[in-house]
């Protein structure tokens, strides 16, 4: 077996991301927050060992999106008091705005920290 054949036997999951790929996946983790927490979770689980920036930013996006899920739950419970609708709409708007800001920062290679986030995953 030649060295080039041995290199192809390495699982693709263990190949480190290039700097451009690292920024790309990190930015996608933030942008996916527009939909739900699942894109950030999937990206973090798949790429956390392949790119340091993706690992950091996907965790950041995941923590923020889980915080938004908690806000949705609280808003849903408080809907009977009418304030719940405001909480739910505010959470949706914050998720949209901050996800877009974080996407643009991560795409530029700048680490982004959400101003409001419960850091559940360290």
Per-residue pLDDT tens digits of the chain, which is 122 residues long: 444 444 443 345 579 989 999 999 999 999 998 999 999 999 999 999 999 999 999 999 999 999 999 999 999 999 888 888 899 999 999 999 999 999 999 999 999 999 988 888 88
Exposure of 1 by Cβ count < 10 A (0-12 exposed, 13-18 middle, 19+ buried)? exposed
Report the predicted TM-score, pTM, of the whole model to 2 decimal places.
0.82
Query: Cα–Cα distance between 39 and 25 in angstroms, integer?
Result: 10
């Amino acid at each position: 077996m030649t060295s080039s054949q041995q290199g192809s036997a390495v699982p693709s999951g263990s190949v480190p991301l290039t700097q451009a790929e690292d920024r790309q996946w990190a930015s996608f983790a933030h942008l996916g927050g527009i939909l739900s927490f699942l894109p950030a979770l999937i990206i973090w689980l798949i790429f956390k060992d392949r790119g340091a920036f993706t690992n950091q930013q996907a965790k950041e996006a995941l923590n923020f999106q889980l915080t938004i899920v908690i806000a949705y739950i609280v808003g849903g419970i408080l809907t009977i008091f009418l304030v719940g609708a405001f909480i739910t709409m505010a959470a949706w708007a914050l998720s949209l705005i901050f996800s877009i800001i974080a996407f643009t920062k991560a795409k530029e290679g700048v680490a982004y920290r959400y101003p409001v986030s419960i850091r559940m995953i360290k």
